[in-house]
Each structure stands twice: as structure tokens, then as C-alpha cells.
Chains A and B, each alone.
Chain A
């Protein structure tokens, strides 16, 4: 007690202002390491986007390279890759938002209806396993299924007397394969958040509904769906915001970077990555990246705006 009062006294003597000043100084110091890292690894590269307007020559450096205006962008927009890349990137992203949220919600509702604790734990633990695997390992598993010589799928086809399919040389199967892999990979983890929300719903709502004669289906539509709406909107906004970047691991590892499959598996991210590795003009590759970033931000703002129009509460900012 004595100690506290004496300390308090000392604090008063030092003056409130002075101690506040030193507090802020200390907190500035605490912020500093993180802030420096953000500046170096996030903000300095942002200035690197001027490369998109230059013909980059590594020998003279970024600043001394020649300005070329919008040439790099025009080259990309006019190239034959552009239409395919845009189609793949945007369509996959939108499709994944729809199918993943749908499967996540359905799986969460299924989990919610399992009453046996041990069984529930088992289902949730197995379905979350892929979250602990790297996409490389998942590509092994996919290869296990699809391998043209001894893959599981071809064995099954052969068993029923069909002709084995060479999955890795025909692009037309890949939208389906990638969807299955994406859902298989994400549903366990993705449903957790929905499940957590459902667990939080007041039990009495269901009891009241049951007394009123609502069946399971009606309970889902009128109680569960409205409760998870806010979360769904947030997921959609985030999904749209990151639509232009896409899931790099999925599109790079699962089709194993096979050129034959690019028509349906190449997205902007894999394209820039390959261009960078191949040493294609840095300026052009940066232009693609910048286009991606800007389009992403615009999509995010538009999507948020639309949701705000519909329901002010559910928008993100």
C-alpha cells in the first residue's frame, strides 16, 4: 500500500504531461520495427510501379530507364493472352466465391445437425486435414487420382470398361478438376466460421419454430440463413477484393505448370510469375501486376458499395 501511494505521488510530482510524453515516445519506439518493415517491403515496392511506364534496363537502374508511357499496358491488352487470362482469372474467382461459400455453408449446416459430439469431431478433423498440407502435397494426391498410367480415376474407368483419359493433356477437364480440388481443400476450414456463427444462434429460436410447426428446411431458410448473412457478405467482399490475384498455388501446382493446359488453367498470377522467371521484360510484367492491383481495389470498392446500397449494416467500410 505504501509503495503504491508513494509511486502515485511520484507520478504526480513528475507531472502528468511529462509522463504522457515519455509514454508516447515509448510507443513510437514499439511501432518502429513494424513500420520500417512495412515501408521497406510494402511501400517501397509500390514506387516500383513506375517500372510499368518504363522500358526497364537493369544495367542503368530503374530511375535512368527510358519512359515509354502506356506502351507496356497496350502490349498486354493487345496480346492474345489477355482475353484468356482475364476470362480465367475473373470467372474462376467469381465461380469459386459462389461454389465455396455454398459448400461451406452446406457443410456447416450438416455439421450443425450432427448431435453426436465424437462423430462431429471426427468429421471436422478429417475435413480440415488439407489445411495442414502444402499445395505441393495436394498436387501429389491429385496426381495420384489422375495419373494417366495408374491413376485411381482411370483404373475405375477401366474397371467399367471405359477408355482411360489423359487428364494432363486436355484442358477441357480442368475447370471441373480445379473446382473439385478447391472445394475439397477448403470446405473443412471454410465451414468453421459459418459453423461458429450457427452455434451462436439462440436455441430458443429453433424451439419456437418447432412449436409453430416449421420443418428442418424452413428452419434453415428462416433462422440460419439470415443469421449468417453478414458473414456471407463479408466473405463476398473479401473474395471479390482478391478476385484479381487468384489462388496462385492452386493454379500453379495442381495442373503442374503444363503448357498444354494453359487455356483453362492460366491466371494473371501464374502468368506474371512465369514471365518473371523467364526474364520477360520487367516493365511489361510490372504493368500486368499494376493492372491487377488497381482492378482489385476498384472491384473491392464497387462490391462494397453495392452491398452498402442493399444493406448498410453488412458492408465492410
Chain B
């Protein structure tokens, strides 16, 4: 048992930690607060942690034309779910034989995988392949196929499978189970921690993906959520610059550009920010598994 002594050092440490936590919480609170302020008060007083004047204008404006955001949500959810499920299936299927001592092509396949971890053809050849040969550029499938395999994940799965008790597999084999049966009935049910962890990491990566859209997607109804967000930060700058011109002055309408931007950011990121921290423990687990060499 460690005694809990309150010392100056301990207090100082906690104060530093609390300040650090504030560095993470304050920006998020600030975003929420701005999205709930009236545009005029933001222009007059700058960003405030507690709005000078509360207003839901920005959200009203954002919801006036929600179709783009709804379609971005749909696309993002669809490719996140499909992509994650498919990649987990393919990666575990591949990892299983690599974990078995009786598989004869183990070494060769591992080398084939390892090479892809450190050497790649680069951006341009992949781009040409996807757009001109596979014709999946500017389609939904660009979100799915190129990212399905990850050598890194396969190695992680393999390492975990190898750590499972050998006896279980041997017993099942004696009972006449085929390799596929062993994989499905024994290995997968025993591997839920690592599957949860990798699935979660994959979901996170896909949910936060913006560069696939930036590079491949031209149709606005196929934008991913994060890419839409990126467009908005640039476009509301554009709206703002328009307001300064005579044309905007004539219409007499000021768009809540500053607050709108953050309202949309909250709407796009909010749900995930609330849900994800609850899965934090899987993250830590995966890290520890990942650190096991070989």
C-alpha cells in the first residue's frame, strides 16, 4: 500500500495536469459557445467562452439547407460500416493461416506483407491505377477497396492468434474440424478484444478521412463528412469576402459566416466526440498488443 501524502510536488503536478486538461477542453467549449452566439456579438466582442448574446441563428442557417450534410453523413456511415466489416473479415482470414505452424507458405506471405509496410509505389501510380484502370475514382467504391488491406493489422491479428492456447486448436482438429471451422468457431470468438480494438481504429480512420474525397471525388453528393467540413471552412471565407462587396450590401442580408462555420463543425463532429471516448480502453489495449515485437 502506498500512503497518500499531500506534498507540494503533488499539488504542483496536479495543477499542471489540470491546466493541460483545460488546453483540451477550452477550445471545444469555445467552439460550442461561438456556434451559440449571435453573429454580431462575435464581430463586436470577438470569441467569448460565454456568449454575449445567445442565438440559434447559425444552426437555423445550417439546417435551412441540410441536404448536403445528410448525404455526407450517409456516405460516411455507409463506407465506414462496410469498409470496417469487410476489412476485419479479410484481415483475420489472412492472419489465421500465418498463425498456424502447419501452414507452409507462412514465411513467404509474411515477407510479401512486410515489404508493403515500408515501400510503396507512391501517390501517383495508385491514382492512375484507381482512376484509369480500375475506374473507381469519383465513385463510392474508392472509399472501400484501396483501404481494405493493412499489413500492419494482419501482423497484429497474427500475433494475437499465436498467443491463444494451442490445445484448443489441436483438440478441435482431432475432432475433425477443418481449418476454416477452427477459425470461425474458436479463433474469432476468442479474439474479440483485438477485433474490437482494430475495428475501432479502422472506424476512426474512416470516419476522419478527408483526403480520399479531396483527391478522387468530384460529385458533391459523394463527399465525406470531414471533406465537407473542409469545404465549408473555405467557402464561408468566400461568403465573408462577398459580404464586403457592393453586391452583398444590396441584398442587405448578412450571413452568419463565423458562427455558421462552428455550428456546422459541431454538427459534423459532435456525435462522434461524445461516443468515441467511451471506447478509449480498446485503444490502450491495442497499443499494448501492437508493441509486442514480431
User: Do A and B interact with each other, yes or no?
Assistant: yes
Which A residues are closer than 8 A to B by beta carbons?
Answer: 4, 7-8, 10-11, 20, 22-24, 26-28, 30-31, 33-35, 37-38, 40-49, 51, 58, 62, 107, 110, 113-115, 119, 122-137, 139-141, 143-145, 150-152, 155, 184, 188-189, 192-193, 196-197, 216, 231, 234, 241, 248-249, 252-253, 256, 272-273, 276-277, 282, 285-286, 288-290, 292-293, 296-297, 300, 316
Q: Given A46-B125, A143-B233, are A41 and B94 neighbors across the interface (CB < 8 Å)? A: no
Q: Given A30-B93, A45-B121, are A23 and B102 neighbors across the interface (CB < 8 Å)? A: yes
Interface of B, helix, strand, loop or mixed by DSSP: helix
* Count: A-B pairs, CB below 8 Å: 269
Residue picked from B43, B209, B234, B269, most chain A C-beta under 10 Å: B269
Residues of A within 8 A of B186 (CB): none
Q: Are the C-beta atoms of A46 and B27 separated by less than 8 Å?
A: no
CB contacts under 8 Å to A, within B20-34, are 20-21, 23-25, 27-28, 30-31, 34
Question: Any chain A CB within 8 A of the CB of B272?
Answer: yes
A45-B129, A155-B46 given; 16 more Cβ-contact pairs under 8 Å:
A31-B98, A35-B94, A38-B151, A44-B125, A45-B120, A48-B126, A51-B128, A62-B128, A114-B14, A126-B21, A129-B28, A136-B230, A144-B47, A188-B24, A189-B283, A253-B210
Residues of B within 8 A of A24 (CB): 102-104
Residues of A within 8 A of B42 (CB): 150
Residues of A within 8 A of B276 (CB): 132
Q: Are the C-beta atoms of B102 and A114 separated by less than 8 Å?
A: no
Q: Are the C-beta atoms of A193 and B47 separated by less than 8 Å?
A: no
Q: Are the C-beta atoms of A123 and B21 separated by less than 8 Å?
A: yes
Question: Any chain A CB within 8 A of the CB of B175?
Answer: yes
Q: Are the C-beta atoms of B103 and A241 separated by less than 8 Å?
A: no
Residues of B within 8 A of A189 (CB): 283
Residues of A within 8 A of B24 (CB): 126-127, 129-130, 184, 188
Question: Any chain A CB within 8 A of the CB of B8?
Answer: no
For the complex, give the distance between the alpha carbons of A31 and B99 in Å. 12
For the complex, give the distance between the alpha carbons of A129 and B124 in Å. 33
Of all chain B residues, the one with the shortest Cβ separation from A22 is B178
Question: Any chain A CB within 8 A of the CB of B192?
Answer: no
Q: Given A26-B178, A35-B94, A127-B20, are A44 and B129 neighbors across the interface (CB < 8 Å)? A: yes
Q: Mark B1-45, 1 if CB is under 8 A from A, else 0.
A: 010100001100110111011011101101100100000001100
Q: Are the C-beta atoms of B94 and A45 separated by less than 8 Å?
A: no
Q: Are the C-beta atoms of A276 and B124 separated by less than 8 Å?
A: yes
